Amino acid sequence: MDGASMDRVRDVTLWVNGERVSRRVAVRTHLVDFLRVELELTGSHLGCEQGVCGACTVRVDGVAVRGCLMLAVQADGARVETIEGLSDSGAIADLQAAFHARNALQCGYCTPGMLVSAAELLAANPAPTRDEIRAHISGNYCRCTGYHAIVDAIETTAAARRGEGGAA
Amino acid sequence: MSADETGLTFLDRPNSYIGRSVPRPNARRLLQGRGIYVDDLKLPRMAHVAFLRSPYPHARIRGIDTAAAKAAPGVFAVVTGAEMARVCTPWVGVLGHFKGLKSAPQYPLAIDRACWAGEAICAVVAASRAEAEDAVALLAADLEELPAAVEMERALDPDETVIHPDLGDNLAFERLLDVGEVDAAFRDAAVVVEETFQVGRHTGVCLEPRAILADWDAGEEKLTVHHSFQAPHMMQDILCKHLGLPEASVRVVCKDVGGSFGIKVHIYPDEMATVALSLMLKRPVKFVADRLESFTSDIHARDHRVKGRMAFAADGTILAAEIDDLTGIGPYSVYPRTSAVEANQVVNLVGGPYRHRNYRARARVVFQNKTPMCQYRAVGHPIAVMVTEGLVDLGAARLDIDPVEIRRRNVIPDDAHPSTAASGIRFEQLSHQAALARLVEMMDYPALRAEQAALRARGIHRGIGLATFVEITNPSAAFYGVGGARISSQDGCTLRLNPQGGVVAAIGVTEQGQGTEAIVAQVVATAVGVPMEQVRVVTGDTDATPYGGGTWASRGAGIGGEAAWQAGKALRQNVLVVAGAILQADPASLDLRGGRVVDAATGTERMPLAELGRIAYFRPDTLPPGLQPEFVVTRHYVPKDYPFAFTNGVQAAWVEVDPDTGFVRLLRHWCVEDCGTVLNPQLVDEQIRGGIVQGIGAALFEECRYDRTGQFLNATMADYLVPMAAEMPDIAVAHVVSPTLSSEIGAKGAGEAGTAGAPAAVINAINDALRPLGARVTSQPASPEVILRALGRV
Amino acid sequence: MTGGDRQVFNNRTINKNAAPLNGDRARIQGEDTRKVKAPDFAYERPESLDQVFDLLERHGDEARILAGGQSLLATLNMRLSSPGLLVDIGRVPGLAGVARAGQTIRIGAMTRHCDLAAAPPVQAHLPLLARAVPHIAHPAIRNRGTIGGSVALADPAAELPACCLAMGATMVLASRGGERRVAAADFFQGLFRTVLEPHELLAAIEVPVPPAGSVAGFDELARRHGDYAIVGLAAQGVPAGAGWQGLALAFFGADDRPVLATAAAAVLAEGGGIAAAQAALDRDLDPPGDLNGDPATKRHLARVLLGRVVGAMAEGR
């Protein structure tokens, strides 16, 4: 483990969107670069690479994390879900439909991260107030919408899941 | 809005999509993470470039030792400014109609001298971005730091460093305007108010940073550039010019763009360098600006200091206005739009909503060693609106007139159009009175005033702020073309009917999330008479779309939409001619609705479009001799009656100020605006809301802060404060509709109205809250510290 | 232990590139310019404390502990830091979790913020922490960030170091030779500086169970939800008539480390009232200016917070 043996690559095995993935990665590679470059899952975006903008938010072992603030090697053995997997499984289809109907996205760059954050809120709090929604997504930067439509879409989804009013 | 040959306006057409909140068809894939932004593209043999950037605001480059970097793992090339200049020629950002505007030649990589902290001075191309950055760390640059001109207030002092000695001084541009009898009006006024307004330096912070992937195929001698950009044809033209390539060799593709707001419509040295590197290395080269270099190399905007005064009669009538604007634009006027436009707009727009005829303005644009400035969403508007509306509120307070009432008395009446503002800008049809009335009703202004008074008695300080504004949209060639810029103000739309009845629409305006493609599909579906699902829209490809300007200056819907409308009408006509021949009916008796040829009078189906397509494409032998179906049509549009289609609107903000902390809570925000025909209400509303929040960012949070030496202090996502969800208010939007008669669809732009008016509404609301405390803020952003200082608490 | 909760790039570090204008020639290395892909480093993921100590002893200053990584990885991406080796302690057993033992609550260094606020001993006995955690950055950061990382980073504007100070916590520093305990008041040494030695690991934080009747107060003034505060206050004490017993007022964002306002606390302890305590605060705080506010603004806001937080505590809010 010392000297020359301290190599700068490592073999990792993880489950990404339910698929087992084994790769050799440079240890300095963060999770989102790994997902985007190595696995070609380009739905997770990079907006700052310092953990502020939230565009890289993905799910690791069931919780939302900043993909740029986690090394790919740290995800060894983990279950990672990206927007591609969450879309294909239909897990957040109602939320996506609400975003679509309400035009809660414009350029779409923040959207995958925003959806992961919103989904986590809805799982923990089935009846969030608008202020709670705003607080929960306060780490996800959106330059286009002004947030109002996003708050509407999340609120609508929560109401629909509670059986109040139809899904958007 | 005119009737077509069937006697119906487009609004009356059966199955019209116009005016409906149709969801954007292209949004679904973005929701699934299936967008294709430039950084998502991977090409064979693709290399990555990283740049060494000057750490100094002003420095002589004596040499760069590249040996270690060249030897680093994964490195393909290290290129300096002098080497790059052999491939790519420099540019100068001036235009003929800005008389006296001057600038210096700018190169893709600085050669002898770096003029701002962040200017690229050397490029490293490697197999990965990380390796390129590793090698950049091995570059040793021999730099002589030079004295820097930093403060715009000092830029013209005789002892200040002249950034480009050949230009003589740091004055890039000056505009003077003197209309009417300004001195007399001020002399005779009952009340004169004066104020100096500061608007901070901003930048766009598009969530997707600037990105470009250039692919030079040395065999075919073709260059394909994938670009996160708003104006592909302009980029194509400029690449040809500066890289010495024929037009046929250059294709620019702008697929998904992760926000732009005017940031991605300028020529950036690092992007030109990336394309040149692809030519030099004969392989694809990708550059994606990281967030840190975005802050120091994306264009900045605003940064104006405006001294203003306004003269009022005793009844509140505005008699005259006068301003003196100063702005610093960095070391170069940005190519090709120039950096004089924002100050020019301030001059044009101050006082724009009002009837006064006396106006004097001076605007000076100076060079400084900071990041270059240029046009960004709502160019000049937020500054002009702040100055105007700030002065109007001051006058109202002095004369003890309600802020709504003073505006009511002064706006150009709705029945007085066409009209001309004191600055000379021309209005076809505005609706200030109707918009103000709608706003008052929507926010229940009297009730809000009563609530404000009741809360004040309990020590809670809330304020209402108003901002009336005009917005420049749908620019004609008067904006850039007349000055010699090869920037298209016209746009075209080509439609092709396919055999199954599907329509492909290729159009010159581009999509960055506004909903351009949805609007085009709505217009085309309506004009042709097919279901919207049958329309496929192609944008952002110089090989595939008619020549056009792209999307900027709120022109996408108004100009692109009209081109699509005209093309759709022409295609329908062509289809009906063929249908008439097949059905042996007068084409005028037929119509196309919902993808079917119908009898125009009864709506009875005569033939599915797919059947007509089958005959036209596969059995043309059965058509009458001499009849050649023309199922591809192209129409172009450019506004000609007016230089710009001005829109108008009014915003209101309701805020609470905590006088102990200086914190401002945004409680509610309203906007009534008039963009003419509303093609898709939801999309327009969301443009307004997004724009308002961008304006709120200016009012309360955003500022590029520099120290005295020219170092950018908060150039990170953590320290440059963009608006986030928790602090933003819910925003109500309503419309008054005054269609422009310059086009049949009558749509004007809506993209910048929110940003234009929001800062003034918020600042006026803060001042309304502070008024009983004897305090007033005049500089943006109105941070807690600014407010506490105004209150004398610190 | 390094790591922490948010970003550390405000004006404390941003001026890495700024050089004084000396009119002379300067040789700059490209490494002086900031970037966003991490420099190369080695990585180890020990599975026991012994392995951690092996690595720390062998690599000394070259090794950095990777805890939650929510600050460290950002500084690496920006090349503000270039360690030779990252020692990921994420899988070392026994470092996470909150447990009560007698009158002490032991919080493992690898306890993530999201788990900290929800831990039953915290809910039952340490309301100050429960109140502070929602102010730390944003949910996705709290899902990864750890108390140990935050405390060991010693960002003067962070919430948890101030809470530790207010609660009279003890830092448990582990090394091959065993554990040593350092009071929070002695642990923080300055801007991003603590008494941690290169061979040591912050293993846990021990917090005394507050006495019966203790109340906690917490508030901060941040420009945006989740931002580092311009100034913040973590407080704890037992109301006693008009005064207080054991009142601790820990300010953050007000100096190069979290600061106990002892003069103001003394005034309040003796029933001197809030106005007098606010006046006394000038003796406790000498805040440097930063992008969020100049010294006068910070001092003013600290006084306002003092009034609000202590006022609410007195009212049992």
Of all residues in chain C, the one with the smallest CA distance to A10 is C43
CB B345 within 8 A of CB B177: no
User: Fold match between C98-208 and C217-314?
Assistant: no
pLDDT band at A167 (very low <50, low <70, confident <90, very high): very low
**Cβ atoms within 10 Å, residue B90:** 15
pLDDT single digits (tens) A20-71:
999 999 999 999 999 999 999 999 999 999 999 999 999 999 999 999 999 9
C-alpha dihedral, C221 to C227 to C232 to C234, nearest 10° = 130
Q: Are residues B614 and B713 in the same domain?
A: no
Distance (Å) from the C-alpha of residue A49 to the closest C-alpha of chain C?
6
Counting the structural domains of chain B, the total is: 3
Contact C39 B701 (CB under 8 A): no
Q: Are residues B694 and B557 in the same domain?
A: no
**Cβ atoms within 10 Å, residue B468:** 28
**A5 has pLDDT over 50:** no
Q: Kindly list the residues from chain B whose CB atom is less than 8 angstroms away from the CB atom of residue A36.
A: 39-40
Q: Are residues B274 and B400 in the same domain?
A: no
A139 close to C (CB below 8 A)? yes
C225 close to A (CB below 8 A)? yes
Q: Kindly list the residues from chain A whose CB atom is less than 8 angstroms away from the CB atom of residue C6.
A: 51
Query: Scanning the structure block, which residue is given the tokens 């000056």?
Result: B174
**Cβ atoms within 10 Å, residue C286:** 12
Q: Are residues A102 and A134 in the same domain?
A: yes
Contact B725 A83 (CB under 8 A): no
Q: Are residues B536 and B556 in the same domain?
A: yes
**C92 has pLDDT over 50:** yes
In the listed set B637, B652, B671, which residue is the last one of a domain according to the structure?
Answer: B637
| Bridge-based pairing state of the strands C201-208 and B191-203 | unpaired
pLDDT (0 to 100) of residue B14: 80
pLDDT band at C79 (very low <50, low <70, confident <90, very high): confident
Residues 6 or more apart in contact with residue B301 via CB below 8 angstroms: B201, B202, B203, B204, B262, B342, B373, B374, B375, B376, B379
Please report, for residues B17, B113, B517, B735, C227, the alpha-carbon distance to residue B11 in angstroms, rounded to integers and kept in the order given.
8, 59, 19, 17, 49
pLDDT band at C30 (very low <50, low <70, confident <90, very high): low
Residues 140-199 of C with CB under 8 A from A: 140-141, 143-144
- Which is higher by pLDDT, B19 or A2? B19
- Domain that includes residue A127, residue range: 92-161
A94 close to B (CB below 8 A)? no
Choice among A2-11, A69-78, B25-34, C229-238 with the minimum mean pLDDT: A2-11
Q: Are residues A156 and A102 in the same domain?
A: yes
Q: How far apart are CA B360 and CA B345, in angstroms?
A: 14
Task: Please report which helix (H) or strand (E) contains residue B427, including its range.
Answer: strand B426-427
**Cβ atoms within 10 Å, residue C266:** 17
Phi and psi at residue B32, to the nearest 5°: -100, 10
Q: Are residues A98 and A78 in the same domain?
A: no
- Domain that includes residue B682, residue range: 300-476+641-790
Contact B690 A46 (CB under 8 A): no
Q: Are residues B615 and B761 in the same domain?
A: no
Q: How far apart are CA B568 and CA B579, in angstroms?
A: 16
A30 close to C (CB below 8 A)? yes
pLDDT (0 to 100) of residue C81: 86
Assess if residue B178 is contained within a domain: no
- Token couple for B244: 């010495």
pLDDT band at C292 (very low <50, low <70, confident <90, very high): confident
Q: Are residues B111 and B258 in the same domain?
A: yes
Q: Are residues B465 and B522 in the same domain?
A: no
Distance (Å) from the C-alpha of residue B456 to the closest C-alpha of chain A?
25
The DSSP output letter for C256 is S
Q: What is the mean pLDDT of chain C?
A: 90
pLDDT (0 to 100) of residue C70: 97
| Bridge-based pairing state of the strands A79-81 and A57-60 | antiparallel
Q: Are residues A66 and A98 in the same domain?
A: no
> What is the mean pLDDT, run by run of 10 residues, along chain B of 794 residues?
57 86 96 98 98 98 98 98 98 96 98 98 97 96 97 97 98 98 98 98 98 98 98 98 98 97 98 98 98 97 98 98 98 98 98 98 98 97 98 98 98 98 97 98 98 98 98 93 94 98 97 96 97 97 97 93 98 98 97 97 97 97 95 97 95 98 98 97 98 98 97 96 98 97 96 97 98 98 98 96
Q: Are residues A108 and A80 in the same domain?
A: no
Q: Are residues A8 and A78 in the same domain?
A: yes
Query: Scanning the structure block, which residue is given the tokens 């704890």?
Result: C236
Assess if residue A166 is contained within a domain: no
Assess if residue A167 is contained within a domain: no
Of all residues in chain B, the one with the smallest CA distance to C29 is B140
CATH number at residue B289: 3.90.1170.50
Task: Of C236, C241, C245, give the one whose Cα is nearest residue C312.
Answer: C236
CATH number at residue A131: 1.10.150.120
* Total residues found in chain C within this entry: 317
- Sequence-ordered alpha helix ranges (H) in B584-697: 609-618, 681-696
In the listed set B297, B327, B346, which residue is the last one of a domain according to the structure?
Answer: B297
Q: Are residues B318 and B279 in the same domain?
A: no
pLDDT (0 to 100) of residue C22: 35
Average pLDDT over residues C30-59: 87
pLDDT single digits (tens) B694-708:
999 999 999 999 999
Q: Are residues B590 and B700 in the same domain?
A: no
Q: Are residues A13 and A40 in the same domain?
A: yes
Q: Are residues B408 and B460 in the same domain?
A: yes
Task: Of C262, B278, B728, C128, give the one whose Cα is nearest residue A142.
Answer: B728
Q: Are residues A36 and A66 in the same domain?
A: yes
Instruction: Identify any residues that bridge with B366 across adjacent strands, giving them in sequence order.
Output: B171, B328
Identity at B691, one-letter amino acid code = G
E strand map for B154-269: 171-179, 191-203, 211-217, 222-227, 250-253
Assess if residue B102 is contained within a domain: yes
Q: Kindly list the residues from chain C whose CB atom is less than 8 angstroms away from the CB atom of residue A134.
A: 225
Q: Are residues A80 and A21 in the same domain?
A: yes
For C140, which of A2, A65, A71 is closest by C-beta distance?
Answer: A65
Percent of chain C with pLDDT over 70: 89
Q: Kindly list the residues from chain A whose CB atom is less than 8 angstroms away from the CB atom of residue B257.
A: 107
Phi and psi at residue B632, to the nearest 5°: -120, 125
Assess if residue B183 is contained within a domain: no
- Domain C217-314 fold: Enolase-like; domain 1 (3.30.390)
Q: Are residues B99 and B127 in the same domain?
A: yes
In the listed set A37, A64, A86, which residue is the last one of a domain according to the structure?
Answer: A86
Q: Helix, strand or coil for residue C79?
A: coil
Counting the structural domains of chain A, the total is: 2
Domain ranges of chain C: 98-208, 217-314
- Token couple for C119: 């831990």
Distance (Å) from the C-alpha of residue A1 to the closest C-alpha of chain B?
24
Q: Are residues A7 and A28 in the same domain?
A: yes
- Token couple for A18: 């339910």
Q: Are residues A7 and A82 in the same domain?
A: yes
Q: Are residues B702 and B554 in the same domain?
A: no
Q: Are residues A123 and A145 in the same domain?
A: yes
Contact B33 A83 (CB under 8 A): yes
Q: How far apart are CA C157 and CA C252, in angstroms?
A: 5
In the listed set B637, B665, B690, which residue is the last one of a domain according to the structure?
Answer: B637
C-alpha dihedral, B325 to B331 to B334 to B340, nearest 10° = 20
Distance (Å) from the C-alpha of residue B652 to the closest C-alpha of chain C?
22
pLDDT band at C37 (very low <50, low <70, confident <90, very high): confident
| Bridge-based pairing state of the strands B779-780 and B191-203 | parallel
B715 close to C (CB below 8 A)? yes
Query: Looking only at Cα atoms, what is the longest distance across chain A?
Result: 64
Q: Which of C5, C52, C141 to mutate to test the interface with A (most CBs of A within 10 A)?
A: C141
CATH class for the region spanning C98-208: alpha beta
